[in-house]
Amino acid sequence: MADIKEISRRIFEEIWNQRRLEVAEELIATTHVNHDPQSPSLPAGVEGYKQLVRHYVTAFPDLHFTIDDQVCEGDTVAVRYTATGTHTGEFPGVPVTGRRISVTGMTVGKIKGGKLIESWGNWDTLGLLQQLGVLPAEAKGKAA
């Protein structure tokens, strides 16, 4: 059985950070479904996953993910990450700002047969838009 923690790490490191989209053929299922309300609607499968990566690295060419935590149980892996980058490319509805961003997020993936078959993501879209200057930054305080 494939080590799901290692598969998850390779998705972040090789596909996202190193931009080796060909690795998606090895690690993403042809039936993969992405559940991420903040991301564009894309087709299922390997090609849809590659389009997802291209969408974000077009806007943030130096986009880099750091895995802050990973928790695995059965065929499920949960990852808490920090993503950083510079907004120097097209991002729908947001003119290029040249600003550096740092956002946190979490994703839960289901892996079977050594491939990611389904994923659920949630990341700090509000923080991203505030850092880009699209929305005003609220007074910093502690959450309840």
Residue 1: per-residue pLDDT: 43
Could you tell me whether strands 115-123 and 28-35 are parallel, antiparallel, or unpaired per DSSP bridges?
parallel
Q: How do the residues of the chain divide into helix, strand and coil, expressed in percent and rounded to 5?
A: 30, 35, 35
Distance in angstroms (rounded) separating the CA atoms of residues 14 and 134: 31
Average pLDDT for 107-132: 96
- Domain 4-131 CATH class label: alpha beta
Per-residue confidence band for 129, with pLDDT thresholds at 50, 70 and 90: very high
The answer to whether the CB of 24 falls within 8 A of the CB of 7 is no
What is the Cα 15 distance to its own chain's centre? 10
Give the domain ranges of the chain: 4-131
Residue 39: per-residue pLDDT: 87
* Selection from 21-30, 34-43, 85-94 with the highest mean pLDDT: 21-30
Residue 143: per-residue pLDDT: 54
97: left (phi over 0), alpha (psi -120 to 50) or beta: alpha
